């Protein structure tokens, strides 16, 4: 073997060795430990962004909603509000949710319907219900790319490449049939990017074990030093319906007034 | 200048001052038009030939000046072919002149629905102009939702956003703590209910709404004496609302002219025959009340209560010289909304009104109970809505059953089918329209 070839191959072998070592390190984590790392990721104290929701049915018919979404932590309590700006038939609809740190306390939610000129208090316990016509559940809207710790039993089952990024696959089985009924699925396989600890893909099976939907988290970039998902796409395999959430104008630094999360502002709009 | 033009003038001056306030103001303009076609047909043997065709256009303009000031105007243009259910066949006496829909020809009308300017400054908010203010948490029937008068052109079949009559109001709201706020209303506009004429399809017939008149008596009905615009004749209100330990709470007070006119009579003898002159007038009352709501797992519990100090009820004996008798009334509702089924709502409401401090028997039952049941579900990713609402009065055992199917064809188009069925005692609130069952189709397009 010639010396210059050996000089290339040794560093390459060392790089492969380090790569395997990095992968092996991730694999020593349990499923719950991986989810903890994911959930501990910084998501900013406040967040304002535009959210475009696109829904396509099996016939290819498209519906698009333009909204403005705001989020803010009040201590450990997280408040999220979504104001609909278009289309005209649902313009000024608004949704407010208070997510308490104490997981034994149900979230509080309100929906403002401009056609009734009333703010309606709605039950938040149906976290598995689909959010306002989309294929995302209320729970998925709340958690985005995070995952509940307590609802599942987890184990690492492998590795994969998703959109060119190395991921650890964690299988999560819902702990009780009651929770499976609540969430609308019994099992999921989540692919977590083990470099930035963010979910890149999730596949869900319904309570009967049939393939339910696949969620892709894409266009993940660091914005103001915070890893941010800019696109969430869910394909519902049972209904052949697709929903895409596209986030733009993401800003973690712009101050968000407390009153943006009040029932009065729901009625008044932005 | 007419006194009742004052609110419009104030709004206009404020708008002009905003526009001339100098400096570059970023202006965002949003506009839309909601076009709607409604076709209704009677389905009982008595009204099967009664068809109605209505076309309406509702343009809306929103201006956002970028300095926190927003301006909104909504106009409604309507063309109706059936005069028995039209603006033409509704009493216009209750409108102050600036609010009256303008009749164009025999079948059309133009109405300025809303025109207001609003501004938030920190914890304070001001909304000035022609608007709707909605109180309460009840569905289908009203207890606290009485700030605005209502048009009964189609009884209670129109959505409240359309049947509520916007009036000129100055609304001020302010946060008084992290979880509570107050609302103060000053309402110089004394527009009252718009009631259907005697030959209208939904003319009131129940003796709890329309007094029986003695036979053989000549009757002359005077136009409604609407109180003139003045500070003394204005309505005022105060509402406190809070969110405490999971409970949405309000306390409400309204000092107002009750929008239901009271008829006073004067008996005359003309050519040896008794004649009655009937003068409708609006009476003052205080309304004190409150509301609450909270959720428990799959259930939302809500309620409201209203106490009126001066209510007038039609006497049971038409021979009495006083048609109306004064009393007090407490009304309340308890509602339970169950979200236990996916994408569905089942809602039960118990309404009750109690009359007291009254000197004689009146047509309305002293304890009047109505139950409502709403079943609603959404399918196909919320594009298809199915709903049935049953309202049943337990005194007269009459009812109204409304079934509707609404399909969002796309983001611009909505198609709806309604079936309205009345049944029961003709003296009941619903039973009086027993022959008015109808089926209705509507097509809405949003530009």
pLDDT tens string B412-445: 999 999 999 999 988 899 999 999 999 999 999 9
Residue A25 has pLDDT above 80, yes or no: no
In angstroms, the first-to-last Cα distance of chain B is 37
At residue B316, the pLDDT reads 82
Residue A26 has pLDDT above 60, yes or no: no
**B273-281 and B218-221 beta bridge pairing:** parallel
Mean pLDDT for the stretch of residues B42-71: 89
- Strand intervals (E) in chain A: 46-56, 62-74, 77-86, 94-99, 108-113, 118-122, 152-162, 165-174, 187-193, 198-205, 211-223, 226-236, 241-251
Minimum mean pLDDT among B14-23, B71-80, B254-263, B290-299: which range? B14-23
Q: What residues in A contact B137, CB-CB < 8 Å?
A: 118, 121
Q: What residues in B contact A239, CB-CB < 8 Å?
A: 381
Candidate from B160, B300, B383 with C-beta closest to A121? B300
Structure tokens at A172: 């999560």
Q: Which of B237, B233, B247 is nearest to B180 (CA)?
A: B247
Distance from chain centroid for Cα A184: 16
Structure tokens at B362: 């009146």
The H or E element that residue B163 is part of is: helix B160-163
Interface contact B408-A125, CB threshold 8 A: no
CA dihedral (A121, A124, A129, A135) positive or negative: positive
Residue B8 has pLDDT above 80, yes or no: no
At residue B16, the pLDDT reads 56
Interchain CB contact of A59 with B (< 8 Å): no
Q: Collapsing DSSP states into helix, strand and coil, what is residue B10? A: helix
Mean pLDDT for the stretch of residues A210-238: 96
At residue B24, the pLDDT reads 54
At residue B15, the pLDDT reads 57
The nearest CA of chain B is from the CA of A225 a distance in Å of: 30
At residue B408, the pLDDT reads 95
The CA distances from residue A162 to A165, A166, A198, B161, B410, in Å, are: 5, 6, 12, 50, 34
Helices first, then strands: H and E counts in chain B: 2, 22
Structure tokens at A12: 């390459």
Mean pLDDT for the stretch of residues B253-282: 86
Neighbouring-strand partners of residue A161 = A166
Candidate from B340, B381, B446 with C-beta closest to A57? B381
Structure tokens at B428: 């009941």
The Cα B210–Cα B433 span in angstroms is 14
Count CB-CB contacts under 10 A for residue A186.
20
Q: Are A108 and A98 in contact (CB under 8 A)?
A: yes
Interface contact A89-B161, CB threshold 8 A: no
Candidate from A115, A121, A124 with C-beta closest to B159? A115
Residue B10 has pLDDT above 70, yes or no: no
**A249 CB burial (10 A radius; 0-12, 13-18, 19+):** exposed
Q: Are A147 and A22 in contact (CB under 8 A)?
A: no
> Could you tell me which residue, B241 or A122, shows the higher pLDDT?
B241
* Most B-contacting residue of A126, A131, A240 (CB-CB within 10 A), to test interface: A126
The H or E element that residue B340 is part of is: none
Mean pLDDT for the stretch of residues B326-353: 95
Interface contact A124-B295, CB threshold 8 A: yes
Residue A137 has pLDDT above 90, yes or no: yes
Q: What residues in B contact A87, CB-CB < 8 Å?
A: 411-412, 446
Residue B6 has pLDDT above 70, yes or no: no
φ, ψ of residue A216 in degrees (nearest 5): -110, 135
Minimum mean pLDDT among A209-213, B22-26, B288-292: which range? B22-26
> Could you tell me which residue, B139 or A124, shows the higher pLDDT?
B139
φ, ψ of residue B418 in degrees (nearest 5): -125, 145
How big, in percent rounded to 5, are the helix, strand and coil portions of chain A? Answer: 20, 45, 35
ipTM exceeding the 0.95 mark: no
Spatial CB neighbours of B36, under 8 Å, sequence gap ≥ 6: B54, B55, B56, B57, B58, B442, B443, B444, B445
Q: What residues in B contact A263, CB-CB < 8 Å?
A: 241, 243, 248
Q: Are B368 and B377 in contact (CB under 8 A)?
A: no
At residue A142, the pLDDT reads 87
Local confidence band at B22 (pLDDT 50, 70, 90 cut-offs): very low
Count CB-CB contacts under 10 A for residue A34.
22
The Cα B390–Cα B420 span in angstroms is 10
Mean pLDDT for the stretch of residues A35-42: 93
Candidate from B32, B173, B248 with C-beta closest to A121? B248
Residue B278 has pLDDT above 90, yes or no: no
At residue A22, the pLDDT reads 42
Local confidence band at B5 (pLDDT 50, 70, 90 cut-offs): low
Interface contact B411-A116, CB threshold 8 A: no
**B116 CB burial (10 A radius; 0-12, 13-18, 19+):** buried
At residue B302, the pLDDT reads 97
At residue B194, the pLDDT reads 94
Interface contact B381-A239, CB threshold 8 A: yes
Minimum mean pLDDT among A135-144, B84-93, B258-267, B289-298: which range? B84-93
Residue B376 has pLDDT above 80, yes or no: yes
Structure tokens at A55: 């829904």
Interface contact B299-A132, CB threshold 8 A: no
Q: What residues in B contact A68, CB-CB < 8 Å?
A: none
Interface contact A115-B339, CB threshold 8 A: no
Which range is most confident: A26-30, B9-13, B439-443? B439-443
Interchain CB contact of A173 with B (< 8 Å): no
The Cα B277–Cα B220 span in angstroms is 5
Interface contact A123-B300, CB threshold 8 A: yes
Query: Per-residue pLDDT tens for A71-100?
Result: 999 999 999 999 999 999 999 999 999 999
Candidate from A123, A128, A264 with C-beta closest to B295? A123
Output the DSSP codes for B251-320: EEEEEEE-SS-EEEEEEEEETTEEEEEEEEE--EEEEEEEEEEEEETTEEEEEEEEEEEEEEEEBS-TTS
Q: Collapsing DSSP states into helix, strand and coil, what is residue A225? A: coil
Local confidence band at B2 (pLDDT 50, 70, 90 cut-offs): very low
Q: What residues in A contact B342, CB-CB < 8 Å?
A: 126, 128-129, 184
Interface contact A135-B414, CB threshold 8 A: no
Query: Per-residue pLDDT tens for B186-231?
Result: 999 999 999 998 888 899 999 888 887 777 777 888 888 889 889 9
Spatial CB neighbours of A93, under 8 Å, sequence gap ≥ 6: A83, A84, A111, A112, A113, A114
The nearest CA of chain A is from the CA of B363 a distance in Å of: 32
Residue of chain A minimizing CA distance to B301? A121
At residue B415, the pLDDT reads 98
Q: Are B291 and B252 in contact (CB under 8 A)?
A: yes
Q: Are B402 and B389 in contact (CB under 8 A)?
A: yes
Q: Which of B363, B421, B374, B419 is nearest to B396 (CA)?
A: B363
Q: What residues in A contact B30, CB-CB < 8 Å?
A: 91
Residues of chain A with pLDDT > 70, as a percent, come to: 90
* Most A-contacting residue of B411, B414, B443, B445 (CB-CB within 10 A), to test interface: B411
Q: Which of A74, A77, A76, A55 is nearest to A64 (CA)?
A: A55
At residue B17, the pLDDT reads 57
* Most B-contacting residue of A264, A266, A269, A270 (CB-CB within 10 A), to test interface: A264
Query: Per-residue pLDDT tens for B120-165?
Result: 988 899 999 999 999 999 999 999 999 999 999 999 999 999 999 9
Local confidence band at A201 (pLDDT 50, 70, 90 cut-offs): very high
Residue A19 has pLDDT above 50, yes or no: no
């Amino acid at each position: 073997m010639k010396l210059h070839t050996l000089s290339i191959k040794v560093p390459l072998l060392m790089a492969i060795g380090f790569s395997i070592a990095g992968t092996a390190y991730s694999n020593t984590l349990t499923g719950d430990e991986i989810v903890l790392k994911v959930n501990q990721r910084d998501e900013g104290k406040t967040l304002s962004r535009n959210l475009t929701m696109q829904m396509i049915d099996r016939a290819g018919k498209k519906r698009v909603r333009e909204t403005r979404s705001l989020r803010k932590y009040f201590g450990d309590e997280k408040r999220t509000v979504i104001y609909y700006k278009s289309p005209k038939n649902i313009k000024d609809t608004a949704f407010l949710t208070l997510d308490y740190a104490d997981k034994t306390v149900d979230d509080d939610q309100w929906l403002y319907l401009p056609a009734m000129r009333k703010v309606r208090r709605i039950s938040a316990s149906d976290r598995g219900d689909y959010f306002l016509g989309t294929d995302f559940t209320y729970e998925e809207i709340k958690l985005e790319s995070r995952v509940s710790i307590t609802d599942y039993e987890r184990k690492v089952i492998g590795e994969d490449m998703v959109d060119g990024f190395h991921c650890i696959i964690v299988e999560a089985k819902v702990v009780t049939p009651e929770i499976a009924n609540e969430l609308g699925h019994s099992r999921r396989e989540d692919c977590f990017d083990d470099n930035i600890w963010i979910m890149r893909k999730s596949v869900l099976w319904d309570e009967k074990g049939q393939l339910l939907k696949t969620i892709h988290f894409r266009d993940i970039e660091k914005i103001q030093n915070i890893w941010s998902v800019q696109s969430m796409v869910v394909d519902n395999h049972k209904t052949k319906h697709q929903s895409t959430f596209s986030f733009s104008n993401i800003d973690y630094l712009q101050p968000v007034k407390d009153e943006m999360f009040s029932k009065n502002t729901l009625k008044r709009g932005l | 200048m007419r006194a009742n033009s004052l609110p419009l003038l104030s709004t206009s001056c404020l708008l002009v001052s905003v526009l001339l306030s100098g400096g570059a103001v970023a202006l965002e303009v949003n506009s839309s038009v909601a076009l709607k076609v409604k076709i209704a047909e009677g389905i009982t043997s008595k009204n099967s030939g009664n068809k109605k065709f209505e076309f309406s256009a509702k343009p809306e303009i929103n201006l956002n000046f970028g300095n926190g000031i927003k301006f909104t105007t909504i106009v409604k243009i309507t063309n109706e072919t059936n005069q028995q259910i039209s603006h033409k066949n509704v009493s216009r006496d209750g409108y102050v002149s600036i609010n009256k829909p303008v009749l164009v020809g025999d079948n059309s009308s133009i109405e300025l629905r809303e025109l207001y300017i609003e501004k938030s400054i920190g914890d304070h908010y001001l909304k000035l102009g022609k608007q709707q203010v909605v109180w309460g948490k009840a569905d289908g029937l009203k207890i606290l939702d009485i700030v605005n008068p209502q048009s009964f052109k189609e009884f209670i079949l129109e959505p409240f956003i359309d049947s509520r009559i916007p009036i000129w109001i100055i609304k001020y709201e302010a946060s008084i703590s992290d979880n509570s706020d107050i609302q103060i209303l000053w309402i110089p506009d004394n527009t009252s209910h718009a009631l259907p004429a005697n030959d209208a399809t939904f003319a009131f017939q129940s003796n709890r709404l329309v007094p029986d008149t003695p036979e053989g008596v000549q009757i002359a009905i005077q136009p409604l004496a609407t109180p003139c615009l003045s500070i003394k004749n204005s309505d005022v209100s105060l509402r406190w609302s809070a969110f405490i330990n999971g409970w949405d709470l309000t306390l409400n007070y309204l000092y107002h002219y009750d929008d239901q006119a009271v008829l006073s009579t004067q008996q005359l003898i003309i050519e040896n025959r008794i004649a009655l002159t009937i003068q409708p007038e609006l009476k003052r009352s205080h309304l004190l009340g409150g509301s609450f709501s909270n959720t428990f797992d799959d259930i939302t519990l809500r309620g409201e209560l209203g106490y009126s100090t001066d209510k007038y009820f039609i006497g049971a004996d038409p021979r009495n010289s006083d048609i109306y008798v004064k009393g007090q009334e407490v009304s309340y509702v308890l509602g339970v909304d169950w979200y236990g089924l996916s994408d569905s709502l089942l809602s039960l409401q118990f309404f009750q009104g109690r009359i007291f401090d009254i000197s004689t028997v009146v047509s309305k039952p002293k304890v009047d109970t109505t139950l409502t049941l709403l079943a609603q579900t959404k399918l196909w990713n919320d594009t298809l809505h199915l709903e049935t609402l049953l309202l049943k009065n337990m005194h007269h055992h009459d009812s109204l059953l409304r079934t509707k199917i609404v399909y969002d064809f796309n983001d611009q188009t909505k198609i709806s089918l309604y079936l309205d069925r009345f049944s029961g005692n003709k003296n009941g609130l619903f039973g009086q329209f027993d022959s008015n069952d109808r089926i209705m189709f509507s097509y809405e397009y949003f530009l």
